[in-house]
Amino acid sequence: MVKKSSFVNKISLTSVSSRLDRDNMNILHNFAEDILKYYITLLDFYPHDSLTIYAGNTDCFGGFPNGKGQITIHNISTYTEDHTDWWKWIIAHEIGHMYWGYYVLDGNKKPNSELGWLTIGLGLFLDRKYSIDNCIQHTEYAEMFEEYDKAIEYHPNIDFNMDSKYTNTRIFDYNYAINHGKALKYILEKEKSLTANKFWKFYKSLLSIFANKNITQTDFELLFNKRLMNDNQFHLLNKKIK
């Protein structure tokens, strides 16, 4: 095994891979440095002392967070410059879970995971902002939404906590369609109803309110509705003054 280490704003960043993947590991490590800098600048902090990136399996793509300050990225031997943006996105996505899932904890997490649909959705909102701000081109969000469309065609009332007979279907990928696609749609709908700037302030506030605490959909809805009600009252007051 080989390692590459550096520091980003005093955060220790380490990448680990086989010798055969050393060159690709170095490239992805540099991507991770830039992404970490972006998140620290955007959110004013990174919630752990370090970040270690492990090379994962060679028979699949994607990644997962596997502990505080630890993520795994699969199949890095297949990296090519033609798909640079996708690799940047998957690294940004998994680093996002260092905030959502391993700092703000999920009160409705799935079995054998620290994540639930809400922290997945909040994490996707973060890597989507990274993608937009840095002109990262990929099709992941569109594919998640397409998978969700397949799911609601099969089961119109499909929800975040469906019976296992639906989660195990081969007609659609429940995790991708619901825990990712539907979850991101849910967050984006909230942003739309509050406006982007106001929602961003609300979004950032959750990182303080639920630091090292569980967040549930009930918590999220309660705080969001309170923020929305305050905003509506402010607009009504302005109309009266005018």
pLDDT digits (tens, 9 = 90+) for 72-127: 999 999 999 999 999 999 999 999 999 999 999 999 887 788 999 999 999 999 99
What pTM value is reported for the model? Answer: 0.92
Q: Is the pLDDT of residue 156 over 80?
A: yes
For residue 61, give the 3-state DSSP assignment.
coil
Long-range contacts of 1-9 (CB under 8 A, 24+ apart): 4/29, 6/33, 8/33, 8/36, 8/37, 8/40, 8/46, 9/36, 9/37, 9/40, 9/46
**Cα–Cα distance, 148 to 169 (Å, whole number):** 13
Nearest residue to 68 via CA among 112, 108, 101, 37: 101
The 63-67 sheet, strands edge to edge: 2-8, 11-17, 50-55, 70-73, 63-67
Q: In this predicted structure, what is the pLDDT of residue 159? A: 80
Q: Enumerate domains of the chain plus CATH numbers.
A: 2-96 (1.10.390.10), 107-241 (no CATH)
Q: Is the pLDDT of residue 165 over 70?
A: no
Question: Residue 181's Cα: distance from chain center in Å?
Answer: 12
Q: Which residues pair with 63 in a beta bridge?
A: 73
Q: In this predicted structure, what is the pLDDT of residue 168? A: 63
